[in-house]
Amino acid sequence: MGAVMGTFSSLQTKQRRPSKDKIEDELEMTMVCHRPEGLEQLEAQTNFTKRELQVLYRGFKNECPSGVVNEDTFKQIYAQFFPHGDASMYAHYLFNAFDTTQTGSVKFEDFVTALSILLRGTVHEKLRWTFNLYDINKDGYINKEEMMDIVKAIYDMMGKYTYPVLKEDTPRQHVDVFFQKMDKNKDGIVTLDEFLESCQEDDNIMRSLQLFQNVM
Amino acid sequence: MAAGLATWLPFARAAAVGWLPLAQQPLPPAPGVKASRGDEVLVVNVSGRRFETWKNTLDRYPDTLLGSSEKEFFYDADSGEYFFDRDPDMFRHVLNFYRTGRLHCPRQECIQAFDEELAFYGLVPELVGDCCLEEYRDRKKENAERLAEDEEAEQTGDGPALPAGSSLRQRLWRAFENPHTSTAALVFYYVTGFFIAVSVIANVVETIPCRSSARRSSREQPCGERFPQAFFCMDTACVLIFTGEYLLRLFAAPSRCRFLRSVMSLIDVVAILPYYIGLLVPKNDDVSGAFVTLRVFRVFRIFKFSRHSQGLRILGYTLKSCASELGFLLFSLTMAIIIFATVMFYAEKGTNKTNFTSIPAAFWYTIVTMTTLGYGDMVPSTIAGKIFGSICSLSGVLVIALPVPVIVSNFSRIYHQNQRADKRRAQQKVRLARIRLAKSGTTNAFLQYKQNGGLEDSGSGEEQAVCVRNRSAFEQQHHHLLHCLEKTTCYEFTDELTFSEALGAVSLGGRTSRSTSVSSQPTGPGSLLSSCCPRRAKRRAIRLANSTASVSRGSMQELDMLAGLHRSPAPQSRSSLNAKPHDSLDLNCDSRDFVAAIISIPTPPANTPDESQPSSPGGGGRASSTLRNSSLGTPCLFPETVKISSL
């Protein structure tokens, strides 16, 4: 009878032990914290004023108390802005563009540097950043597959319910149009110089680049 | 993470720079948001207690009272603060929600009061954080149950009304399942109960020995053999009632296979089968032994009472769910019995005239001793036997007493858990549906904004609708962002209704797809500026392309045209409600006859209730506008409508 009771009790304790360890592990992970460099340094490095940096940091810190944004959070944020469709792929490419050091997490400095380029940078800098976004494998060239991925990600954000109804080859057509315009020497890839040249020729793009200036 | 969207909006807008080189149309100009200081401090005075917070904090959740322009109603210009005449203690939790993104439930407050505060500030109860959610739900459920009990005590408690025009089968089934619905059902319920009782009592009384008063014979007969006809008649009557009931249930059951496999129907069958078998079997002495055994199954009629008793059903269910614990008890008992029986047998082997003839014979002694019954029909006589016998009885107490509390606690745990799990599952569905509903509010905000003519290029503020003007800065920028995405891809966001209609048009004729591809492809490297752009031009192109070819096609074509045109009258007519310039009305007149015919088209089946609800202002507006136009129609409309409906 003692054996019976012994086996019974040991079964129960075996179940309880693993769950305790898991909780402790989780607590440890959230303690990792990151603090950004000083305010003056950031002000010197970017085109924002002190007050703007303050507002940005307060918002950032509130959403990410640990000081870093990881890719899942990025995707969640973007999904809330584009509830119609699936923004996860575009958010993934954006995240890679923000995460210049490829560490897997975006710190406040990376965040502010990218925002500074996009909102307050010169035309040249903005276009270079966009080229970097399109160049998924960061080899310095944009080929058709990379462009297809990007365009498909953008169309995914539109979602299912569009007018007119989205057709299967619309992304491909869009990419073809883009390459027609950008690829000067028709070699199937777009280099940075071709990209910059083509964009500067297009008045539309030049005008639109000024659009997001007053976001702050 | 409840993201404060307003904080991340600059980031999302900046990232839209990545769309720029791909855009085939010019992107719309940015909204002229008045540059407000982002970090001004607001003072919120709640019944005298002052709370101060940044404006940014409150702007994080724009669909609540404090985050939207609704708080302007509470602004006191004299003191420069927002005054709310509400509970300040509860407000602390509300404000913390804005600050941290998690809504906590106060432990010492009444849950009803908390709910009311949440409703006032525009917070959905589903926002309660996970840490407090369990407790919140439990307390709310308790409250609701208590209130429901009071209500039930007042009413007589009628069941849900059946839809009119339900078949006899459905009514019959409902009468069986819920006897309180009609008097006839109640009568039937009590009659069957009575007959079950009669049948069981008859079975019992049948075996009582009746003293025959007439003859003084020593042989006493059981009543069953003395009055065989009476008992047979009673049995027949009961079985007839039970058979009738079973057949009626079988007829009324919505799923007959499932009914046949259910426990209650099996019990019914077992209860009435012996009688029929008895009828069929001839009065043969060989078989009558087996026949008598069959009569034992008549006792199963008592289980028919479980339809009448909720408690019995619950007991049966909990026994079933505790099967593993019962199995464990049985196993440990069996082990103990075998061990002790073996020991006792070998201990008593030497004695002659012993009862312990074999180990299985010793089982009986072991069981009786371990359960502390001690009949005394088998007792050990050797000293060794007595020693082992006493060890047996002591350990019997332990073996049986120890698993029993485990089983009892398992019973109560499983019982309560099952009840809670069912309720939680039902609530989870509702909870998810509500969150989806709240989310779809933002989705449809943009669509409504478009329908309100917000995307028209008119710059003058007077002509724009009031509702378009009064959007918050955040909404303006968010809508501008979505508009940019539309322009980048040359596609527009729509709701499910128009999408499925357009889809129907595509599948019917394929004309709309061809025409859109004609209009959307740029004709050369320099024409990127013009191309797919203005909505009206595109739709006119479709209309022209369709109408030229429609002469040859006939009524199928008209359906395409109508579906393709459906979008164009709607925004104009809706914006005409908002005092737009008169040119829009001309378009209305052109498309009047087509719009009216849309009413007779069967609606596409892809309409979920979730989607249709939030878009109902848009959808309802559209329907009302179409109806309005039809009332203006000339008599020549009707031949067209008749033609369409004959499809």
Is the ipTM above a cut-off of 0.85? Answer: no
Architecture of domain B317-435: Orthogonal Bundle (1.10)
Nearest Cβ partner of A84 from B443, B498, B506? B443
Q: By the CB < 8 Å criterion, does A206 face chain B? A: no
pLDDT for B467: 53
CB contact under 8 Å between A55 and B39, yes or no, is yes
pLDDT by residue (tens digit) across B446-480? 777 777 666 554 444 444 455 555 566 777 888 88
Yes or no: say if B141 and B82 are a contact pair by the CB < 8 Å rule: no
Chain A, 30 to 59: residues with Cβ < 8 Å from chain B are 51, 54-56, 58-59
pLDDT by residue (tens digit) across B49-93? 999 998 888 888 888 888 888 888 888 888 889 998 889 999 999
pLDDT for A98: 87
pLDDT band at B487 (very low <50, low <70, confident <90, very high): confident
How far apart CA B406 and CA B329 sit, in angstroms, is 10
Size of interface A-B (CB pairs under 8 A): 182
How far apart CA B231 and CA B202 sit, in angstroms, is 7
Here the tokens at position B646 are 């004959």
The H or E element spanning position A51 is helix A50-63
pLDDT for B146: 66
pLDDT band at B544 (very low <50, low <70, confident <90, very high): very low
pLDDT band at B517 (very low <50, low <70, confident <90, very high): very low
Residue B41, SS3 per DSSP: strand
Quickly list DSSP for B503-557: HHHHHHTSHHHHHHHHHHS-SSTTTTTTTT--HHHHHHHHHHHHHHHHHHH-HHH
Q: Which of A152, A189, A153, A164 is nearest to A79 (CA)?
A: A153
Q: Who has greater pLDDT, B410 or B57?
A: B57
In chain A, which residues have their Cβ closer than 8 Å to the Cβ of B99? 62
How far apart CA B599 and CA B593 sit, in angstroms, is 11
Stretch B477-505: mean pLDDT, rounded?
A: 78
> Do the first three CATH levels of A46-121 and A123-215 match, i.e. the same topology?
yes
When scoring B1, B17, B404 by the number of chain A Cβ atoms within 10 A, the one with the most, hence best to mutate, is B17
Task: Give the list of residues 6+ apart from residue B337 with CB closer than 8 angstroms, or none.
Answer: B363, B366, B367, B370
Compare all CA atoms of chain B with the CA of A157 and give the residue at the minimum distance.
B485
Q: By the CB < 8 Å criterion, does A196 face chain B? A: no
Residue spans of beta strands (DSSP E) within chain A: 68-70, 105-107, 141-143, 162-163, 189-191
CA B615 to centroid of chain Cα atoms: 22
For β-strands A189-191 and A141-143, DSSP reports them as: antiparallel
CB contact under 8 Å between A209 and B516, yes or no, is no
pLDDT for B377: 92
pLDDT at B438 over 50: yes
Here the tokens at position A188 are 């199937």
pLDDT for B446: 74
How far apart CA B54 and CA A56 sit, in angstroms, is 14
Nearest Cβ partner of B24 from A56, A111, A177? A177
pTM: 0.44
- Please give the DSSP secondary-structure letter assigned to residue B78: T
The CATH number of A46-121, from 1.10.10.10, 1.10.238.10, 3.20.20.70, 1.20.1250.20, is 1.10.238.10
Nearest Cβ partner of A62 from B7, B38, B494? B7
B376, burial (CB in 10 Å: exposed 0-12, middle 13-18, buried 19+): exposed
pLDDT at B6 over 50: yes
Q: How close is the nearest chain B Cα to the Cα of A83, in Å?
A: 6
In sign, the C-alpha dihedral spanning B569, B644, B557, B494 is positive
Q: What are phi and psi of A48, to 5 degrees?
A: -100, 155
Q: How close is the nearest chain A Cα to the Cα of B442, in Å?
A: 8
In chain A, which residues have their Cβ closer than 8 Å to the Cβ of B7? 59-60, 62-63
pLDDT for B521: 40
Residue B331, SS3 per DSSP: helix
Beta bridge partners of B210: B221
Q: Which of B602, B585, B601, B595 is nearest to B637 (CA)?
A: B595
Q: Is B161 left (phi over 0), alpha (psi -120 to 50) or beta?
A: beta
Beta bridge partners of A190: A142
pLDDT at B433 over 60: yes
How far apart CA B336 and CA B340 sit, in angstroms, is 6
- Please give the DSSP secondary-structure letter assigned to residue A37: -
How far apart CA B98 and CA B284 sit, in angstroms, is 87
| Residue B224 to residues B204, B221, B341, B374, B490, Cα–Cα distance (Å) | 10, 8, 41, 35, 91
How far apart CA B341 and CA B166 sit, in angstroms, is 65
pLDDT by residue (tens digit) across B119-128? 888 888 888 8
How far apart CA A181 and CA A193 sit, in angstroms, is 13
In chain A, which residues have their Cβ closer than 8 Å to the Cβ of B398? 1
How far apart CA B399 and CA B393 sit, in angstroms, is 10
Residue with tokens 């207690």: B49
User: pLDDT averaged over chain B?
Assistant: 71
Maximum C-alpha span of chain B: 126
Q: How close is the nearest chain A Cα to the Cα of B305, in Å?
A: 38
B570, burial (CB in 10 Å: exposed 0-12, middle 13-18, buried 19+): buried
3-class DSSP string for B468-487: HHCCCHHHHHHHHHHHHHHH
Annotate B628-639 with b (16+ C-beta within 10 A) or e (fewer).
ebbeebeeebee
Chain A, 83 to 142: residues with Cβ < 8 Å from chain B are 83-84, 94, 97, 111, 114-115, 118-119, 126-127, 129-130, 133-134
pLDDT at B250 over 70: yes
The CATH 1.20.120.350 portion of chain B extends over 178-308
Class (C level, CATH) for B178-308: mainly alpha
Here the tokens at position B142 are 């308790």
Beta bridge partners of B222: B209
Assess whether the previous peptide bond of B222 is cis (omega < 30° from 0): no
Stretch B274-290: mean pLDDT, rounded?
A: 72
Q: Which of B275, B316, B511, B513 is nearest to B415 (CA)?
A: B316
Percent of chain B with pLDDT over 90: 14
Q: Which of B343, B347, B424 is nearest to B136 (CA)?
A: B424
pLDDT for B173: 85
Q: Which of B552, B639, B588, B531 is nearest to B25 (CA)?
A: B531
pLDDT for B291: 66
Compare all CA atoms of chain B with the CA of A164 and give the residue at the minimum distance.
B491
Residue A46, SS3 per DSSP: coil
pLDDT by residue (tens digit) across B594-604? 333 333 343 33
**Count, residues in chain B:** 647
pLDDT by residue (tens digit) across B378-391? 999 999 999 999 99
Domain spans of chain A, in order of start? 46-121, 123-215
User: What superfamily does domain B41-154 belong to in CATH?
Assistant: Potassium Channel Kv1.1; Chain A (3.30.710.10)
| Residue B604 to residues A84, B498, B546, Cα–Cα distance (Å) | 21, 10, 22
Q: How close is the nearest chain B Cα to the Cα of A42, in Å?
A: 17
The H or E element spanning position B76 is strand B75-76
Q: Who has greater pLDDT, B530 or A23?
A: A23
Here the tokens at position B463 are 């002509």
Q: Residue B407 is which amino acid? A: I
How far apart CA B539 and CA B542 sit, in angstroms, is 5
pLDDT for B458: 45
How far apart CA B20 and CA B26 sit, in angstroms, is 9
10-residue averages of pLDDT along chain A (216 residues): 51 47 48 71 85 82 79 85 87 88 86 87 88 88 88 86 81 86 85 88 82 66
The CATH 1.10.287.70 portion of chain B extends over 317-435
Task: Give the list of residues 6+ apart from residue B413 with CB closer than 8 angstroms, or none.
Answer: none
Q: What are phi and psi of B357, to 5 degrees?
A: -75, -30
Stretch B529-545: mean pLDDT, rounded?
A: 44
pLDDT for B342: 94
Class (C level, CATH) for A123-215: mainly alpha
Here the tokens at position A21 are 């360890």
Q: Which of B67, B48, B54, B60 is nearest to B121 (CA)?
A: B67
Kindly calculate the radius of gyration of chain B based on its CA atoms and give it in whole angstroms: 40
How far apart CA A164 and CA B301 sit, in angstroms, is 67
Stretch B506-529: mean pLDDT, rounded?
A: 43
Q: By the CB < 8 Å criterion, does A185 face chain B? A: no
